[in-house]
Amino acid sequence: MIIVMKPGVAPKEIKEVVDRIKKMKLKPHVLKGTERNVIAVIGDERNLQREPLEAIPGVESVMAVLKPYKLASRESKRENTVITCGNMTIGGNRLAIIAGPCTVENQSMILQTAKSVKAGGAAALRGGAFKPRTSPYAFQGLKGVGLKFLADTRKQTGLPIVTEVLDPRDVAAVSAQADILQIGTRNMQNFELLKTVGKQSKPVLLKRGLAAGVEEFLMSAEYIMAQGNYQVILCERGIRTFNDYSRNTLDLTIIPALKERTHLPVIVDPSHGTGKRAYVAPMAKAAIAAGADGLLLEVHPHPDRALIDGHQSLSLEEFAQLMKELGPLAAAVNRTL
């Protein structure tokens, strides 16, 4: 159920509705918009009586939400959610470009990369300190040391930091250093982790699972939002199919499908989505043309010497060239870089 408030409603009128909902043993979530606010109601709606709520001053209407993802749905919020992180916005007219290496290898390497991608037009730096790997013998990241390198790099460049968290026990430590918490594909349905990041105040970048459908993807976002954190960024990063010419199948159809169903911003990771450096730039352009709100790109000073995923990482020069080529394309779809 959602309660739509009238335009320009006073805070005390919103509070009156929120207090009434709490007395019914239900959980209210206030979703703020530019024109009007909406209060989503979560819980056993048999306790919710329609007419008394519509009689409260400031209430415009009370409507049922048919989708199982109540807070993430377009029914709850018609206008697009725009998430702000430092000088970067995600979901607005300006495309959000997040770039950096798959993993932090050392301080000089991450700083060199950050300076270069910033000069090329990136708005945020990505870099893994904790790395989930298919093989237990593969490099698992620098962990706490990697977080320190990222934090030091932010001080020197001003770029917000996007980094992955794997374990609910590490959320507080990662959140203390990162600007955006990333949930990787393997953890899209790690519900305890989702609930834990949902209690943080930092935006969450949620990657689609290897075989997740649209509803499963949005239900994972709902887990985060149900804890009170509405700053969720959805990321398409490819799904597992029968193809043998790329690492994954980058499903760009999901961009308009998500835009129909949710107000949350959608970005695309063509690096993991293709797994091949030669495919990254074409699919990055295709993602922007399809309506993505930004890109998550792997960039490394020396891809041939990268500890992880060098085969899908752009060089610094390739990233700079791609950014130049994205400018006219962004303008063609009424977006800016």
Q: Domain residues of the chain, as ranges?
A: 2-63, 83-332
Could you give the 3-state DSSP secondary structure of residue 239?
Answer: strand
| DSSP codes, 273-330 | HH--HHHHHHHHHHHHHTT-SEEEEEB-S-GGG-SS-GGGPBPHHHHHHHHHHHHHHH
**Tell me, what's the pLDDT at 329?**
96
Residue 42's pLDDT band, with cuts at 50, 70 and 90, is confident
pLDDT at residue 232 greater than cutoff 90: yes
Query: Which residue in 272, 288, 282 sits closest to 322, CA to CA?
Result: 282
pLDDT at residue 140 greater than cutoff 90: no
Is residue 183 within 8 A of residue 206, CB to CB? The reply is yes
Pick from 30-39, 277-286, 316-325: least confident: 30-39
**Tell me, what's the pLDDT at 32?**
84
Query: Which tokens belong to 222?
Result: 């709902």
Mean pLDDT, range 146-171, rounded to an integer = 96
Percent of the chain with pLDDT over 90: 74
pLDDT at residue 281 greater than cutoff 80: yes
pLDDT digits (tens, 9 = 90+) for 12-35: 989 989 998 888 888 999 988 877
Whether 83-332 and 2-63 are alike in CATH topology: the answer is no
- Highest CATH level, class, for 83-332: alpha beta
Query: Which residue in 66, 69, 23, 73 sits closest to 48, CA to CA?
Result: 23
Residue 128 DSSP symbol: B
pLDDT at residue 72 greater than cutoff 60: yes
**Tell me, what's the pLDDT at 54?**
82
pLDDT at residue 49 greater than cutoff 70: no
| DSSP codes, 237-257 | --B--S-SSSSSB--TTHHHH
Query: Which tokens belong to 111?
Result: 């700083």
Query: Which tokens belong to 156?
Result: 């020197």
**Tell me, what's the pLDDT at 335?**
97
Is residue 26 within 8 A of residue 48, CB to CB? The reply is yes
Strand partners, 88: 85
**Tell me, what's the pLDDT at 50?**
56
pLDDT at residue 168 greater than cutoff 60: yes
150-159 burial by CB neighbour count: b if 16+ within 10 A, else e?
bbebbeebeb
Query: Which residue in 16, 47, 74, 29 sits closest to 227, CA to CA?
Result: 29
Q: 280 phi and psi, to 5 degrees?
A: -65, -50
How many residues comprise the chain?
337
Query: Which tokens belong to 179?
Result: 């600007």
How far is the C-alpha of 183 from the C-alpha of 204, rounded, in Å? 7
Residue 48's pLDDT band, with cuts at 50, 70 and 90, is low
CATH of domain 2-63: 3.30.70.1140
How far is the C-alpha of 301 from the C-alpha of 113, rounded, in Å? 6
Pick from 94-108, 133-147, 273-287: least confident: 133-147
pLDDT digits (tens, 9 = 90+) for 240-257: 999 999 999 999 999 999
Average pLDDT, the chain: 93
How far is the C-alpha of 267 from the C-alpha of 97, rounded, in Å? 9
Residue 227's pLDDT band, with cuts at 50, 70 and 90, is very high
Query: Which tokens belong to 229?
Result: 């954190």
Please name the residue ranges forming H helices in the chain.
11-23, 50-54, 107-120, 144-157, 171-177, 191-197, 214-225, 254-261, 270-274, 277-289, 316-332
Query: Which residue in 104, 106, 105 sits closest to 127, CA to CA?
Result: 104
**Tell me, what's the pLDDT at 51?**
58
Mean pLDDT, range 200-225, rounded to an integer = 97
pLDDT at residue 225 greater than cutoff 60: yes
Percent of the chain with pLDDT over 70: 98
Q: What is the pTM of this model?
A: 0.93
